[in-house]
Amino acid sequence: RLGLISSDLKCVLNVDGMARHFASFPVVDRNLPFISANKAWDEQILTDCALADWIKTLSLAQNMDGQMWRPWVKGHVETEPKGWVGAFNASISLSSLFERLLNWDDGDPSPIIGSTADNTNTDTNNTGKSGDNKVRLLSCVELTHYTLTQGLHHWQRSEMLSHRPTRPPTFEPNPKAPAYALCPSSLPFSTVAMGDCVSAPLAMAALPLAQIAVWSFHLPLHRFVAACIREVARRHDVVETSNTNPAVGAINGVGTGGGLANLLQMFALSEDVGGGKDNSSQRRQNALLFRGLMEFPTIVLSRAAQIRAGLWRRNGPGMSDQVLNYSEPPFCRPLADADILLLQFALICHASSSRDDVGIMDQSIGGLAFRGTGTLRLVNLLIHRFG
């Protein structure tokens, strides 16, 4: 059934302009700015648009066909499940739609007559109607930001709340609980380098994850975000916007286009003196969002590394077949490569934008590199997840 639906959708996307219309919202109030650095997306979220339905569909497919490590007390599996074949087919089928859905430029017009890419009011006769414009087209930067903050962020927050840490063995009622069943809420205490022969202790919260925790090769919503980031990286950044000197990548002189730097700027904290409360909320959202971008792809990558190292032999040789599909051509591009891309993007968001005043001011875009430890958090996570 999924194959038939996917084929029909591909036929629709082959129509000129339909892929461009995918990244759009119906216009409700053109007097309200569609997006700004200090306004949340949920002021104009419409749950009945195709983009919102697409994100919900990908969210339903998250973590399908869960896998669990077999401890030595269970012995070798006798009958291997074959459901992973259908799960990989579904994941690959969904990922094949990503490039088709994103196969447009920011300046492409809508296939619907009377629609526009800007958000200006065309009601010149004061009729009280919203004019001829029926949809508001998103740029690739806006599409990526919306998917990150209103799709992936909500799923990650819900998923993180479903994980429960266990008590340390010294406080556990049953001290004989095996080590592989424990899931601490923080990584082991570490000492990290801070620069010129300076070291500092680092206590880092982490997703409570036991060795026997259920996980999945399939995170289609994360992979769609990776595809969006890849498309944004191909576009030019908007440096200046004016009517007389349109910015590179802008749409009709309006700075709604842009590249990776413009996407990062949408997560930046306000520089206003009175923006303390907004900055605090934005920093919390950034911290949770980009922590998830580190955590969930790392789980899949580290488990795949364990399987290659032979730690999952009791689960049967089918696990090695799944790793081959995940990490080898031709399917590695929408799977393993997408997870690595998300880690690289999280690293950019946590890295300092300047080496000046490290340890005094937070130089990262989203306020996540406090005292120069932003990048170290990701490195520390990778060491302990893979170690």
**What pLDDT is stored for residue 300 in this prediction?**
96
Among 253, 252, 259, which Cα is nearest to 238's?
259
Task: Give Cβ neighbours of residue 119 (< 8 Å, ≥ 6 apart).
Answer: 27, 30, 33, 34, 136
Angle at CA of residue 326, ends 325 and 327, nearest 5° = 100
The two three-digit tokens of residue 332, written as one number: 């590695």
Residue 336's Cβ-count burial label (10 Å; 0-12, 13-18, 19+) is buried
- Return per-residue pLDDT of the chain as tens, 387 residues: 677 788 888 888 888 888 888 887 765 544 444 444 334 444 444 556 788 889 999 999 999 999 999 998 888 998 888 899 999 999 999 999 999 999 999 888 777 665 544 444 344 333 333 344 566 788 899 999 999 998 999 999 999 999 888 876 665 555 567 888 888 888 877 776 666 656 667 777 888 988 999 999 999 999 999 999 999 999 988 765 444 444 444 443 344 578 998 898 888 876 654 556 677 888 888 888 998 999 999 999 999 999 999 999 999 999 999 999 999 999 999 999 999 999 999 888 877 544 443 344 445 556 666 555 667 777 888 888 886
**What pLDDT is stored for residue 312 in this prediction?**
94
Among 48, 292, 257, which Cα is nearest to 149's?
292
Task: Give Cβ neighbours of residue 106 (< 8 Å, ≥ 6 apart).
Answer: 117, 139, 140, 235, 249, 251, 256, 257, 258
Determine the number of helices (DSSP H) and then strands (DSSP E) in the chain.
13, 4
Half-sphere exposure of 93 (CA within 13 A, CB side): 17
**What pLDDT is stored for residue 234 in this prediction?**
92
Torsion of CA 207, 208, 210, 215, to 10 degrees: -50
Q: What is the DSSP string of 83-144?
A: HHHHHHHHHHHHHTTHHHHT-S-TTPPPSSTT-BSS-----TT--SS--S--EEEPPHHHHH
Angle at CA of residue 320, ends 381 and 62, nearest 5° = 60
Q: How far is CA 301 from CA 224, 230, 269, 297, 345, in A?
A: 17, 19, 31, 6, 16
The two three-digit tokens of residue 330, written as one number: 């031709």
Whether the ω angle into residue 165 lies within 30 degrees of 0, i.e. cis, is no
**What pLDDT is stored for residue 130 in this prediction?**
38
Task: Give Cβ neighbours of residue 273 (< 8 Å, ≥ 6 apart).
Answer: none
pTM reported for the whole predicted model: 0.84
d(CA 271, CA 291): 23
**What pLDDT is stored for residue 30 in this prediction?**
44
Residue 206's Cβ-count burial label (10 Å; 0-12, 13-18, 19+) is buried
